[in-house]
Amino acid sequence: MKTQLLTIKTFFKAIPMVALIAIFGCSTEETTSGPAVNPEATEISDLISSLSYDASAMLNVKNTGGAPKERTVTNTKNTQTTPSMGSYDECEEKFYTLEANFDDVAILRPTNGIIWPGALVYGNKDMLDGMPNPITLDRSPVTLRIDLPGIGAQGTLVVENPRNSNIQTSIDKALEWWNANAYEEGYVNASNSSYQANTSYSSKQLSLDVGLNVEWANGSVASQLEYESSTTKRVAAMVYKQVFYTVTMDTPKTPASVFGADVTFSEVDAAIGSDTPPAYINSVSYGRIIMFRMETTDMRKSIDLDLVLEYATGAANGSGSVNSEYDEVLKKSSITVVTIGGNAEVASEAVNADGFASLKHIITGENAVYSRNNPGVPIAYTVRYLKDNTFAKMGYTTDYKIKDCSTKAFSHANAFLDNNIGQDVRFRFKYKKQGSNAIDYTNWQKVKKNDAPPAIRPPSGAHDVKVQFEVWDITWKHMGEFNEGYLYSDKKFEAYCSKRFAGICTEVSVRRD
């Protein structure tokens, strides 16, 4: 029995001892565990910090005085066509250079697998086409933040193995939590909506003006921007960017901190350089892009098509008389709404606009609010350099011209008649009316001998002009006519004695100086 009792006591004393060993053993492991440290982190950070490059020069940043864009008139040319049927076209061509800088890049081409929050990319000139090249070295864990209201700690994501698939899975989980919790508690995330509108004179000019740089676009998106104003129609576009939420990467503590613990100095040194500086996708915005494109035959330069689109979408309202003019323009217009969806896919359809805010329903309502059924797609991203966490700004330029033409009635010069004979003479114009072959006449202008030569001119728009003359000899007798067509300059005529006999004038004539 003693042996049995001794065995029992030893057994129960051993249990707490084992438990204590286990507890302290676990505690020691938890205290010492953590992210693996790259033994060459200092050298890698020094390498990246020592890179020598001019980001502004590499990315063609323009000197716009701090503004997003700058437009400069480089030349002006006035031309005039030869008159036809009494009318001519007078044109003024203004030549412009448009320079624009962007640090927010619209996603206008498929970027799956390359553009995701926290991705490493090369911050060189290859970014200018909207598709940077990825850096594929192993990564350390990355921390992201989703800015949905009410998401709290669930909106901070730590992704252990950052790659496109893992990042998207983590984002999807956070969104689903918001849908099931914050949304049910009454949180609503209306989109952060902004718009830009402009008249189109070239596809690149329009794309820079509305923030959808055609250089970032693939064929389907680019084709929607290839509409230009001419002398017979005007084209304008209005682009709405509606951001539902943005996913942002925490700023790295050091340049090396983004790389995995096993990434060596040699691997980083071989992968980057001053011509290929490392950068990271700082943020990706999710939502939708909507473009309204209007084509109109209303050529009145006094009416700004940008304001017509703002009126039709409800972004702005004018006075009663102005609104009636906008309604007239809309009646002469065709409008297409273009939506850019997931993977830069494009859908377009014709819509009708017949008054103030008649297009507003397209940009408001349930589709303008994030929800489980309307999650939005990646529409824009920003890039920062790993060396110093500065934004990568990209510059673009284009030249275009605006040709304004107006049809005017031809304005004729004067005709003068100097009467140097002893009889009264009169003259008038025979002409065809503007735009037709209908013949008409001006009133006769009588001139006595030694009168100051009077001046008459054909009506504006007259064409095929002839100057007719008559002399008083008991009755008015026809002397003939001169075919002038158009009077580009003053014409002087003289009635004179063309034949004499015994000092007596036997024939009178009219000649042109």
CA neighbor of 218 nearest in space, from 338, 132, 111, 291: 111
Instruction: Write down which residue in 361, 376, 405 finishes a domain.
Output: 405
State phi, psi for 334 to the nearest 5 degrees: -115, 135
Q: Please give the Cα distance from 263 to 120 (Å, whole number).
A: 14
77-99 residue pLDDT tens: 999 999 999 999 999 999 999 99
State whether 416 and 401 are in the same domain.
no
Identify which has the larger pLDDT, 361 or 247.
Answer: 247
Instruction: Give mean pLDDT, residues 44-68.
Output: 97
Instruction: Give mean pLDDT, residues 175-185.
Output: 85
Question: How far, CA to CA in Å, does 112 sit from each of 130, 168, 210, 312, 383?
Answer: 13, 11, 24, 35, 16
Instruction: Write down which residue in 376, 405, 434 finishes a domain.
Output: 405
Instruction: Name the residue with tokens 């927010």.
Output: 104
* Per-residue pLDDT at 17 exceeds 80: no
State whether 358 and 452 are in the same domain.
no
- DSSP, collapsed to helix, strand or coil, labels residue 249 as strand
63-80 residue pLDDT tens: 999 999 999 999 999 999
305-350 residue pLDDT tens: 999 999 999 988 777 778 899 999 999 999 999 988 765 567 888 9
Q: Please give the Cα distance from 236 to 76 (Å, whole number).
A: 23
State whether 426 and 374 are in the same domain.
no
In a domain, 127, yes or no: yes
State whether 213 and 92 are in the same domain.
yes
In a domain, 2, yes or no: no
- DSSP, collapsed to helix, strand or coil, labels residue 119 as coil
88 residue type, one letter? Y
Residue 37: partners with Cβ closer than 8 Å, 6 or more residues away: 261
State whether 280 and 424 are in the same domain.
no
Q: Which residues share a beta bridge with 490?
A: none
Quote the pLDDT of residue 138.
Answer: 97
State whether 82 and 129 are in the same domain.
yes
Quote the pLDDT of residue 313.
Answer: 93
Q: What is the DSSP letter of 248?
A: E
Q: Which residues share a beta bridge with 80?
A: 90
In a domain, 20, yes or no: no
Q: Please give the Cα distance from 472 to 475 (Å, whole number).
A: 5
238-278 residue pLDDT tens: 999 999 999 999 999 999 999 999 999 999 999 999 999 99
Quote the pLDDT of residue 408.
Answer: 95
Quote the pLDDT of residue 300.
Answer: 86
| Model confidence, pTM | 0.79
Per the structure, the count of domains in the chain is 2
Q: Please give the Cα distance from 371 to 14 (Å, whole number).
A: 58
Bridge pairing between strands 105-106 and 87-102: unpaired
Label residue 23 by pLDDT band (50, 70, 90): very low
* Per-residue pLDDT at 503 exceeds 70: yes
Q: What is the CA radius of gyration of the chain?
A: 40
State whether 390 and 427 are in the same domain.
no
Q: Please give the Cα distance from 278 to 116 (Å, whole number).
A: 15
* Per-residue pLDDT at 15 exceeds 70: no
Quote the pLDDT of residue 5.
Answer: 36
State whether 354 and 421 are in the same domain.
no
State whether 306 and 430 are in the same domain.
no
Residue length of the chain: 513
In a domain, 10, yes or no: no
The count of other CB atoms within 10 Å of the CB of residue 134 is 16
Label residue 190 by pLDDT band (50, 70, 90): low
State whether 482 and 381 are in the same domain.
no
CA neighbor of 392 nearest in space, from 144, 163, 108, 121: 121
Domain span including residue 395: 44-405
The domain that holds 322 is classified in CATH as 3.90.840.10
- DSSP, collapsed to helix, strand or coil, labels residue 387 as coil
Quote the pLDDT of residue 375.
Answer: 87
Q: Are 200 and 237 in contact (CB under 8 A)?
A: yes
Half-sphere exposure of 41 (CA within 13 A, CB side): 17
Quote the pLDDT of residue 14.
Answer: 42
Quote the pLDDT of residue 27.
Answer: 40
Instruction: Give mean pLDDT, residues 356-379.
Output: 87
State whether 375 and 456 are in the same domain.
no
Residue ranges with strand state E in 229-277? 234-249
In a domain, 26, yes or no: no
Instruction: Write down which residue in 370, 405, 440 finishes a domain.
Output: 405
* Per-residue pLDDT at 26 exceeds 50: no
The domain that holds 471 is classified in CATH as 2.60.40
Query: Is residue 494 packed enough to be buried (19+ CB in 10 Å), middle (13-18) or exposed (0-12)?
Result: middle
In a domain, 251, yes or no: yes
104-132 residue pLDDT tens: 999 988 787 899 999 999 999 999 999 99
Question: How far, CA to CA in Å, does 485 sit from each of 109, 153, 463, 495?
Answer: 59, 85, 6, 21
Quote the pLDDT of residue 33.
Answer: 53
State whether 114 and 255 are in the same domain.
yes
* Per-residue pLDDT at 185 exceeds 80: no
Percent of the chain predicted with pLDDT > 90: 75
In a domain, 37, yes or no: no
Residue 380: partners with Cβ closer than 8 Å, 6 or more residues away: 104, 105, 106, 107, 241, 243, 284, 285
In a domain, 354, yes or no: yes
